[in-house]
Structure 1
Amino acid sequence: MSKLPLGCAIASLIAFAAPAAMAQPAGPGPRDVPARSLPVPSAPSPQVQRLIAAPLRQGWNTPPTTPEGWRALAEAGAAATRAGLPGLRERLKVDVEAAEMGGVKVFRVTPREIRLENRNRLLIHVHGGCYVLNPGEAGLPEAIFMAGFGGYRVISVDYRMPPEAYFPAALDDAMAVWKAALQTTDARNMAIFGSSAGGALTLEMVLRAKAEGLPLPAAIAPGTPMSDVTGVGDSFQTNGLVDNVLVAVDGFCDAATRFYANGHDLRDPLLSPIYGDLCGFPPTILTTGTRDLLLSNTVRMHRALRQAGVEASLQVFEGQSHAHYYRDDSAPESREAFGEIAGFFDRHLGK
C-alpha cells in the first residue's frame, strides 16, 4: 500500500472529515472595516515619524479643472521646493548645472566627490509629480539624494508637461535624452531611476527602448511607480486616506494623470507599464512603504517582473506614505534607501 506524504495525508483527512457546507468557500465580496485611529508606528526614525504624522495633503480632493489651474498649482509647489534646494545641495555636497541634451532641458547633478568606481558611470533621472508637477529645478530633490548618497553623476530630465505638452511628451523627452547619452556613454555603464510618475517613465523608457531596438540600461530603479493608472490594486483601498501624500485613488494624482493622458487609453503600457512586455528587462530595484497608496502598484510590478524572469528586488519601508524616502535628507531611512539603490547599481553597472 503506497503512503501519501504527511502534508498530503493531513489534507486528505481534513477534506474527508469536513462537512459539505465547509467544503464550499464563500463567494467574493467586500469586507467592512470599522473606523479606527492609526497610531504613528514607533519603529521608524523620528524624522520619518514626523512625515507619517503630517496631515493629509491640502487640496487632495479638489484638483484644478482648467489648464491655468494646473499651471498655477505646479508653480506654487515648485516655488516651495526651489527654496529648499540650496541647503539640500550644500548638505549633500552636490553641484547642479542647467544644460541641454537631445534638444531637451536637463540638469547635470554632480557630487563634489565622485566615487572612483563611478567615474565612467552615468544615471538618468526622471522626476515624479503625476506628470504635471515639479517643473524645472523643482524636479531635482531625488536626483540630488542619489548623487549625494550614491556618489553617481546624474542627468535629470526636465521633460515637458501639460498644459504645454501632453502624452507622450514626457516619454519622448526622456527618450531623446537617453539617445543623446548613448552617444557618449556605454549603456552597460548607465542606469535609469525615478519615483511616482518618474518610476512609471523609467519603466516606459525600457519598453520604448525595446520597441526601437535601442541598447537598454544595465539596471533601473522605479520607486513607487505609477505602473497601473487604471485604479487597479488593493492598496488603493487599504491605504486610502492613510497615505498622506496621494491620499486616495480618486484624488489629484488621478486627475493629473488623466489631464496628461488627454483622452488616451490608460491601459496603454506607455501609461500603465505593468501591461507591457517585460521580458528582457534589466535588473530592477523597486521602493515603496507600507502606507503608500501605490504599494500594490509596486508589489504587482515586482511580481510581474519576476514572472517575466527578470532579476527584481523590492524594498518596503515601515509606515512610509508615497515617496517619503526622499522627503528628508536627515532621515536614516533616506540614506538607507538610496544606499540600497546605489549598491544595486554598483553590482550591475560596468566600470
Structure 2
Amino acid sequence: MRAALTALLSLVATSALAQQPLDVPAKQLPVPNTVSPQVQKLIGAPLRNNWNIQPKTGEEWKVVADQGAEPTIKNLPKLLDDLKVKVEKQTIDGVRVFVVTPEKILPQNKNRVLIHMHGGCYVLNPREAGLPEAVMIAAFGGFKVMAVDYRMPPEAYFPAALDDGITVWKALLKQKVKPKNIGILGTSAGGALTLAMVLKAKELKLPMPGAISSGTPMSDVTKAGDTFQTNEMVDNVLVSRDGFCDAGTKVYANGRDFKDPLLSPVYGDMGGFPPTILTSGTRDLLLSNTVRVHRKLRQAGVIADLNVYEGQSHAHYLRDHTAPETKEVFTDMGKFFDRHLGK
C-alpha cells in the first residue's frame, strides 16, 4: 500500500513539474542567410507600426482600414503590370467581387475558377487592397479568380464575410460551373474563411469544391496554440496574440463565442473536406494554428499538404512578388489545385 502511495505521489509531482512553464533567456535573433535577399529584408524589418492598436468599434476600424489600404491600392497598378494581370469589378447576387484574369489562362484551367477570400483580421484590406494574393495566384498559377470584396465592420459583422463567400460559391454553381472545378483560397482571416466556407457548405449540403488553399489561417481565435507564445514578438507582422488582429476579430465577432467553428474552424468537423494545402513560416505567430489544422485534416483522412517557409513571419509570402519564395508558394499552390481540381 505504502509503495503504491509513494508511486502515486511521485506521478503527481512529475506531472506538476511537467506543467511548469519554461524559462527562456532573452536573446537576439539574427536574420537567416538561408533565404533570398528579398525575404531577408522582410525578416529584418521592425515590428509592424501600430501593432498594438485596439479600436473597439467598426467605425473606428474603418478609419484605420481606409488609411492602411492606400499604399497597397497605390502600388496595385505596378503589381498588375509586372505580373500581366487585369482586374474587373463586378457584383454577383449583391456581393462585390473583382474578376482577376491573367494574360494567359493555362489550357488545363480553362473551365476552372478560384474563389479568393482576402485577409486582414476581418476588418482590414477593403476594396482593391485585398487583391495582391488573388493577383499572384492568377499570375503564377494561370487561373481566373473571383476575389470577394466581402462586407466588413461597420457595414456588417459576423457572419457577413462568410455569407458573401457562400453567395459567390452558390452563384458559380448556378452558372453551371462544376463543383470539382472550383477552388477556394485565402490567407489569415481569408484562410479561416476558406475553412469556414467548407464547414458551412457541409451544413448547407452544398457540393464540395475540388480543392482549397488555407494560408496561415486564423483557425483558433481563442489564442490557443504553442506559437502564440513562442513566436510572440518574433513575428514582425502580427507581433502579439493580444495585438491589433485580436482587437479586429472581437469587433467582427460582435459577441459570438470565439469557439464557434465558423470563427475558429479548427474546432469544426473536417471529415469530408476537399484536398487542402496549408502555408506558414517558422516565425509565424499562427504556425500552430496552421499545424493544428493540418493534423485535424490528416486525422480525418483528408489529403493535406503543409508548406512551412524558412524565417517567414505571418504571410510574408504576400509582401514581395519578386521574391523567389513567393513564386514558389504560388507555383506549389497552383500545382496542388491542378492535381485535385476537375478537368
Q: What TM-score range do you get, normalising by the shorter chain?
A: over 0.9
Q: Which residue of 2 aligns with 1:46?
A: 37
Confirm or deny that 1:117 pairs with 2:108: yes
Confirm or deny that 1:308 pairs with 2:300: yes
Please report how far the alpha carbon of residue 270 of structure 1 lies from its aligned counterpart in structure 2 after TM superposition. Answer: 0.3
Q: Which residue of 2 aligns with 1:240?
A: 232
Confirm or deny that 1:139 pairs with 2:130: yes
Q: Which residue of 2 aligns with 1:81?
A: 72
TM-score (norm 2): 0.95
Equivalent position to 2:244, from 244, 252, 259: 252
Separation (CA, whole Å) in 2 of partners of 1:66 and 1:335: 37
Separation (CA, whole Å) in 2 of partners of 1:250 and 1:226: 14
Separation (CA, whole Å) in 2 of partners of 1:21 and 1:113: 67
> Which residue identity lines up with residue 29 of structure 2 in the other structure?
L
How does 1:3-82 map onto structure 2 within 5 Å? 24=14, 26-82=17-73
> Which residue identity lines up with residue 152 of structure 1 in the other structure?
F
Please report how far the alpha carbon of residue 65 of structure 1 lies from its aligned counterpart in structure 2 after TM superposition. Answer: 3.2
Please report how far the alpha carbon of residue 350 of structure 1 lies from its aligned counterpart in structure 2 after TM superposition. Answer: 1.2
CA, structure 1 residues 21+169, in 2 after alignment: closer, same or farther (shift >3 Å)?
closer
Confirm or deny that 1:289 pairs with 2:281: yes
Separation (CA, whole Å) in 2 of partners of 1:38 and 1:24: 33
How does 1:328-347 map onto structure 2 within 5 Å? 328-347=320-339
Measured against aligned partners, the alpha-carbon deviations of 1:20-62 in whole angstroms (never above 9, x if no partner) come to 9799563311011111110001111000010001110111112
Equivalent position to 1:186, from 174, 178, 184: 178
How does 1:122-201 map onto structure 2 within 5 Å? 122-184=113-175, 185-201=177-193
Please report how far the alpha carbon of residue 256 of structure 1 lies from its aligned counterpart in structure 2 after TM superposition. Answer: 0.3
Check whether the contact 1:229–1:267 (CA below 8 A) recurs between aligned residues: yes
Other structure's SS at 1:166 match: coil
> Which residue identity lines up with residue 284 of structure 2 in the other structure?
D
Other structure's SS at 1:105 match: strand
Check whether the contact 1:102–1:179 (CA below 8 A) recurs between aligned residues: no
> Which residue identity lines up with residue 61 of structure 1 in the other structure?
N
Check whether the contact 2:222–2:258 (CA below 8 A) recurs between aligned residues: yes
Q: Which residue of 2 aligns with 1:9?
A: none
Separation (CA, whole Å) in 2 of partners of 1:187 and 1:297: 27
Confirm or deny that 1:327 pairs with 2:315: no
Separation (CA, whole Å) in 2 of partners of 1:66 and 1:266: 17
Equivalent position to 1:268, from 251, 254, 260: 260
Separation (CA, whole Å) in 2 of partners of 1:182 and 1:321: 36
Check whether the contact 2:57–2:251 (CA below 8 A) recurs between aligned residues: no
Separation (CA, whole Å) in 1 of partners of 2:133 and 2:299: 29
Other structure's SS at 2:18 match: coil
> Which residue identity lines up with residue 315 of structure 1 in the other structure?
N
Please report how far the alpha carbon of residue 68 of structure 1 lies from its aligned counterpart in structure 2 after TM superposition. Answer: 2.9
Please report how far the alpha carbon of residue 80 of structure 1 lies from its aligned counterpart in structure 2 after TM superposition. Answer: 1.1
> Which residue identity lines up with residue 156 of structure 1 in the other structure?
A
Rg: which structure is higher?
1
Separation (CA, whole Å) in 1 of partners of 2:14 and 2:89: 64
> Which residue identity lines up with residue 272 of structure 1 in the other structure?
S
Separation (CA, whole Å) in 1 of partners of 2:60 and 2:27: 35
Check whether the contact 1:109–1:153 (CA below 8 A) recurs between aligned residues: yes
Please report how far the alpha carbon of residue 166 of structure 1 lies from its aligned counterpart in structure 2 after TM superposition. Answer: 0.4
Please report how far the alpha carbon of residue 63 of structure 1 lies from its aligned counterpart in structure 2 after TM superposition. Answer: 2.2
RMSD, aligned α-carbons: 1.3
Check whether the contact 2:73–2:128 (CA below 8 A) recurs between aligned residues: yes
Please report how far the alpha carbon of residue 102 of structure 1 lies from its aligned counterpart in structure 2 after TM superposition. Answer: 2.0
TM-score (norm 1): 0.93
Runs of 4+ aligned structure 1 residues displaced above 4 Å come to 20-25
> Which residue identity lines up with residue 140 of structure 1 in the other structure?
L
Separation (CA, whole Å) in 1 of partners of 2:69 and 2:174: 32
> Which residue identity lines up with residue 100 of structure 2 in the other structure?
V
Other structure's SS at 2:25 match: coil
Q: Which residue of 2 aligns with 1:213?
A: 205
> Which residue identity lines up with residue 154 of structure 2 in the other structure?
P
Separation (CA, whole Å) in 1 of partners of 2:104 and 2:272: 34
Separation (CA, whole Å) in 2 of partners of 1:266 and 1:132: 16
Q: Give unpaired runs (5+ residues) of structure 2.
A: 1-8
Identity %: 64
